Amino acid sequence: MIPKVEWAAFLEVADNLRLLQVPKGPVEGYEENKEFLRTTHHLLLEVEVMEGTLQGPESGHMFPISHGIPNMLLSEEETES
């Protein structure tokens, strides 16, 4: 999944979560780099936010995460344009 990862967003999230040892981007020859692959796999698939909040980048709206599930339903006032 490496080619599909948005590294800027990934790094920002990792920073918010205060994760350590986060690769700054796909390194040269990453397909063979076991260390890189293991770390990235871990961060992408094994780290899970169980409780928290997501904030919309443009609107600033807050979306809660509970038991690992984010609730992205918009409230009535949010959907009114």
Partner 1 sequence: MCDIEEATNQLLDVNLHENQSSVQVTESDLRSESELLVTIGATGPTGFEQTAADEVREKLGSSCKISRDRGKIYFVISVESLAQVHCLRSVDNLFVVVQEFQDYQFKQIKEEVLKDFEDLAGKLPWSNPLKVWKINASFKKKKAKRKKINQNLSKEKINNGQEVKINQRNVKKEFTSHALDSHILDYYENPAIKEEVSTLVGDDLASSKDETDEISKEETEPQVLKFRVTCNRAGEKHCFTSNEAARDFGGAVQDYFKWKADMTNFDVEVLLNIHDNEVIVGIALTEESLHRRNITHFGPTTLRSTLAYGMLRLCDPLPYDIIVDPMCGTGAIPIEGATEWTDCFHIAGDNNPLAVNRAANNIASLLTKSQIKEGKPSWGLPIDAVQWDICNLPLRTGSVDIIVTDLPFGKRMGSKKRNWNLYPACLREMSRVCTPTTGRAVLLTQDTKCFTKALSGMRHVWRKVDTVWVNVGGLRAAVYVLIRTPQAFVHPSEQDGEKGTLW
User: Which residues bind to partner 1, rule: CB under 8 A?
Assistant: 1-4, 38, 41-42, 44-46, 56-59, 61, 63, 67-74, 78-79, 81
How far is CA 34 from its chain centroid?
Answer: 21
Burial 30-43 (b: 16+ CB within 10 A, else e): beeeeebeeebeeb
Decide whether 20 or 73 has the Cβ nearer to partner 1: 73
Decide whether 12 or 78 has the Cβ nearer to partner 1: 78
From the CB of 6, what's the least distance to partner 1, in Å?
9
